[in-house]
Amino acid sequence: MRKLLNTIYITNDEAYLCLDGENLVCKINNEIKFRLPFDNIENIVCFSYLGCSPAVMGKCVSKLIPINFVSPNGKFLAKVCGETKGNVFLRVSQIDKFRECGLMLAKNSLAAKFSNSIQLIKRTIHDNTDMRNDEQIKCAINVLLNGIDQIYEADSVETAMGIEGNCAKQFFSVFNKLITNPKTSLTFQFRTKRPPLDPVNALLSFAYTLFTNEFASALETVGLDSYIGFLHALRSGRSSLACDLVEEARCLVERFVLTLVNLRIITEKDFDRQISGAFLLNENGRKKFLSKWQEKKRTDISHPYLKQKIPFGLIPYVQSNLLAKYVRGEIEEYPCFLLK
């Protein structure tokens, strides 16, 4: 269990929630693990299939505390809440806030993305000293640094996205150099999305999709509309806001993919090549990827704003919660995720 920003996260998949008077009680194998008064709770996110008792649901409904059920893999399943009294106002505030401050949110998000990309490159350089004088890497870092300055001079989201496109191109121009294990046969030339034309691109696309879906689930738990974003254009069927929040956290996905490749956890045998030329993870490859992804989500990471360690898997939920607090006016600025 984690309590962050007055939201209770039940991360143990064997946990069961029940009611004791005015208290929420969590049991694992019939042993009480914690007891909390409902007055201290704003939201509950439950990653457990066992769920909670009907009495807990009724109590939360009466106190307007949403209970969100998410699978252990991060897929949003359902929400139990009372009469809609808050979310409609939150979504109206979301639209108003994004219209008023959308450009600044976009600038901050992309600046955070560029900064995190630099940190990702520098981490590889730190572990491989022979790369410190590589001119191509130096050039990419300079472009990303200049991008941070340029992004705040942009007068529209379209201009900002143009700067992002140039920075992304420079970042991926050196991505193959971050694959440092000479024994791996997997290489990267340039970013291809639809379809991914090499195994590394297939890994990146698969990981981005997983992370975006988890952000969409997280946004649902805090009552924000994941289809109304501030950076990506509105498009029917696309979770634009989830895509927006993923931008600042892409570095985590990219680091994860590099780890899989450099440690040879994933090899060329884990892919199938389609007639179209696209590469996709085969069944064995998906199993290995998802197993390592679930392990990664259980590891702790220091959150730069909360100043505490949280499970990697809760990052989408914490960032979504912070954005909701910004939209409601509880904090003056949305704190983007920044690697230190």
Q: How far apart are CA 48 and CA 42, in angstroms?
A: 19
Q: Give the model confidence (pLDDT) of 257-275 as tens digits.
A: 999 999 999 989 988 888 7
Residue 279: pLDDT over 80: yes
Same domain for 159 and 250, yes or no, is yes
Burial 274-295 (b: 16+ CB within 10 A, else e): eeeebbbbeeebeebbeebbee
Q: Are 17 and 56 in contact (CB under 8 A)?
A: yes
- Across the chain, what does the average pLDDT equal? 87
Q: Give the model confidence (pLDDT) of 41-94 as tens digits.
A: 878 888 777 888 899 888 888 887 888 887 765 667 777 876 555 567 788 899
Same domain for 96 and 76, yes or no, is no
Residue 238: pLDDT over 90: no
Same domain for 91 and 63, yes or no, is no
**Long-range contacts for 34-37 (Cβ within 8 Å, ≥24 apart)?**
34/1, 36/3, 36/8
Same domain for 27 and 71, yes or no, is yes
The parent domain of residue 40 ranges over 2-80
DSSP state for residue 306 in the 8-state scheme: T
Decide: helix, strand or coil at residue 307. Answer: coil
In this prediction, residues 10-26 reach a mean pLDDT of 86
pLDDT at 203: 93
Q: Which helix (H) or strand (E) holds 311?
A: strand 308-311
Chain centroid to CA 169 = 22
Which of 80, 95, 128 is the endpoint of a domain? 80
DSSP state for residue 181 in the 8-state scheme: -
Same domain for 132 and 190, yes or no, is yes
In this prediction, residues 228-232 reach a mean pLDDT of 91
CATH number at residue 60: 3.100.10.20
Q: How far apart are CA 79 and CA 220, in angstroms?
A: 9
Q: Are 25 and 19 in contact (CB under 8 A)?
A: yes
Same domain for 59 and 105, yes or no, is no
CATH number at residue 248: 1.20.120.920
Q: Tokens 């307007």 map to which residue?
A: 64
Same domain for 50 and 184, yes or no, is no
The length of the chain in residues reads 340
φ/ψ region of 37 (left if φ > 0, alpha if ψ in -120 to 50, else beta) reads: beta
Q: Are 40 and 6 in contact (CB under 8 A)?
A: yes
Q: How far apart are CA 231 and CA 61, in angstroms?
A: 34
Q: Give the model confidence (pLDDT) of 138-172 as tens digits.
A: 999 999 999 999 999 999 999 999 999 999 999 99
Secondary structure (DSSP) of 202-255:
HHHHHHHHHHHHHHHHHHHHHT--TT--SSSPP-TT--HHHHHHHHHHHHHHHH
